[in-house]
């Protein structure tokens, strides 16, 4: 199956305002998104995600590389952008002095749609987002969370194959975040939309994304399914307790110096260790013995995606071999 979004070898540089040096902020990044996926574009601050999003949305010209949306090259801007709608961070794509309905009409009109064509759909989305009552309210008078919902409704009403959401849960309360998760899953399941999310909310990623690409310092470090990444790290990570309970700080320092994968997990008497193979397991046991420490219990750790994301980025910073 052809990917709905095909990002090929994107590269872009900027001139640093202070040093005047040319910095490559996106370096030969490629990834593919299949139709109907909920896909995460992740990375630490300054990794280059927004620059990639801007290139996908035709707001920034790549130095080299290509973006194909539904098979159409980004150079054919008018056609390729018909297949994607984006909600960029900060609701920049809404008019604050227009009502919810006027905003929807305006953006639909820009794409050659009449409001009456999409009226029923709009009502359905407003109902799903709990915004029926706010239809005639000025967007500027709505709360931040409501504005975020309106921006997403506008993107949905444009009826594109791909919806790109930049930090969709930023500033939303727990209930609104949960509602949004349900809606995104519904969009994918019932309307076969492809949803691309750029976010720092790893709980959101763990709960709804099928696959992710992780960018760090402008380069792709991982592209894989969330399930596979979770499994990969789950089997290597253990929680253990040692006889005698708490390990004295001096001993702890000495172990961590020799085996940096060992750490205190914040619960009294409980430690975590990442063991990559049987050799390192025996090295670790020998090390504990040398410190006169004996394992009382050891069991697989339940790592969340946030921890896995941190491990992957730390490895990249240390320039260790990529997954």
Ligand X SMILES: Nc1ncnc2c1ncn2[C@@H]1O[C@H](COP(=O)(O)OP(=O)(O)OP(=O)(O)O)[C@@H](O)[C@H]1O
C-alpha 98/C-alpha 130 separation (Å) is: 19
What is the smallest separation between the CB atom of 268 and ligand X, expressed in angstroms? 35
What is the smallest separation between the CB atom of 46 and ligand X, expressed in angstroms? 4
What is the token pair recorded at 134?
A: 């706010």
What is the token pair recorded at 75?
A: 């150079």
What number of helices (H) and strands (E) belong to the chain? 11, 14
What is the smallest separation between the CB atom of 22 and ligand X, expressed in angstroms? 10
What is the smallest separation between the CB atom of 86 and ligand X, expressed in angstroms? 14
C-beta closer to ligand X: residue 47 or 152: 47
C-beta closer to ligand X: residue 50 or 85: 50
Spell 30-42 as b/e; 16+ CB within 10 A means b.
ebbbeebbbbbbb
Half-sphere exposure of 118 (CA within 13 A, CB side): 24
User: For residue 65, what are the contacts with CB-CB under 8 A and spacing of at least 6?
Assistant: 7, 8, 9, 10, 11, 28, 29, 30, 55
- DSSP state for residue 99 in the 8-state scheme: B
Burial of 18 (C-beta count, 10 Å sphere; 0-12/13-18/19+): exposed
**Positions in the binding site for ligand X (CB under 6 A):** 14, 25, 43, 45-51
Burial of 90 (C-beta count, 10 Å sphere; 0-12/13-18/19+): middle
C-alpha 179/C-alpha 149 separation (Å) is: 10
C-beta closer to ligand X: residue 92 or 257: 92
What is the smallest separation between the CB atom of 44 and ligand X, expressed in angstroms? 7
If you search the block for the tokens 């071999």, which residue do you land on? 321
C-beta closer to ligand X: residue 40 or 48: 48
C-beta closer to ligand X: residue 15 or 289: 15
What is the smallest separation between the CB atom of 309 and ligand X, expressed in angstroms? 13
C-beta closer to ligand X: residue 16 or 123: 16
C-alpha 66/C-alpha 6 separation (Å) is: 8
φ, ψ at 118 (rounded to 5°)? -115, 10
**Helical ranges in 16-168 per DSSP H:** 49-56, 77-80, 100-110, 115-128, 144-157
C-beta closer to ligand X: residue 46 or 245: 46
What is the smallest separation between the CB atom of 91 and ligand X, expressed in angstroms? 15
Is the sign of the CA dihedral 190, 191, 194, 195 positive or negative? negative
C-beta closer to ligand X: residue 22 or 318: 22
For 41, the 3-state DSSP assignment is strand
C-beta closer to ligand X: residue 37 or 167: 167
């Amino acid at each position: 199956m052809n990917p709905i979004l095909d990002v090929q070898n994107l590269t872009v540089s900027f001139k640093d305002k202070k040093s005047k040096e040319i910095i490559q902020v996106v370096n030969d990044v490629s990834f593919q998104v299949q139709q109907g996926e909920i896909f995460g574009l992740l990375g630490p601050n300054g990794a280059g995600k927004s620059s990639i999003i801007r290139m996908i949305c035709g707001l920034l010209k790549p130095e080299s590389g290509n973006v194909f949306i539904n098979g159409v090259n980004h150079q054919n801007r008018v056609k390729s952008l018909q297949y994607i709608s984006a909600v960029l961070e900060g609701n920049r794509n809404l008019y604050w002095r227009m009502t919810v309905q006027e905003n929807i009409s305006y953006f639909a009109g820009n794409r050659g749609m009449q409001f009456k064509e999409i009226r029923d759909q709009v009502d359905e989305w407003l109902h799903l987002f709990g915004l029926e009552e706010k239809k005639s309210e000025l967007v500027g008078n709505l709360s931040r969370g409501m504005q975020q919902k309106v921006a997403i409704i506008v993107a949905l009403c444009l009826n594109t194959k791909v919806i790109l959401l930049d930090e969709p849960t930023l500033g939303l309360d727990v209930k609104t975040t949960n509602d949004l998760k349900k809606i995104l899953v519904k969009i994918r399941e019932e309307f076969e939309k492809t949803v691309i999310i750029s976010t720092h909310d790893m709980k959101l990623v763990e709960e709804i994304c099928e696959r992710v690409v992780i960018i760090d310092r402008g380069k792709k470090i991982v592209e894989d399914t969330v399930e596979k990444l979770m499994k990969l790290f789950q089997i290597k990570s253990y929680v253990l307790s040692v006889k005698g309970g708490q390990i004295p700080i001096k001993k702890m320092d000495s172990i961590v110096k020799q085996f940096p994968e060992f750490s205190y997990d914040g619960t009294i008497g409980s430690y975590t260790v990442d063991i990559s193979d049987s050799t390192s397991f025996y090295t670790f046991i020998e090390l504990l013995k040398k410190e006169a420490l004996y394992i009382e219990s050891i069991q697989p750790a339940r790592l969340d995606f946030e921890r896995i994301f941190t491990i992957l980025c730390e490895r990249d910073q240390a320039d260790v071999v990529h997954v």
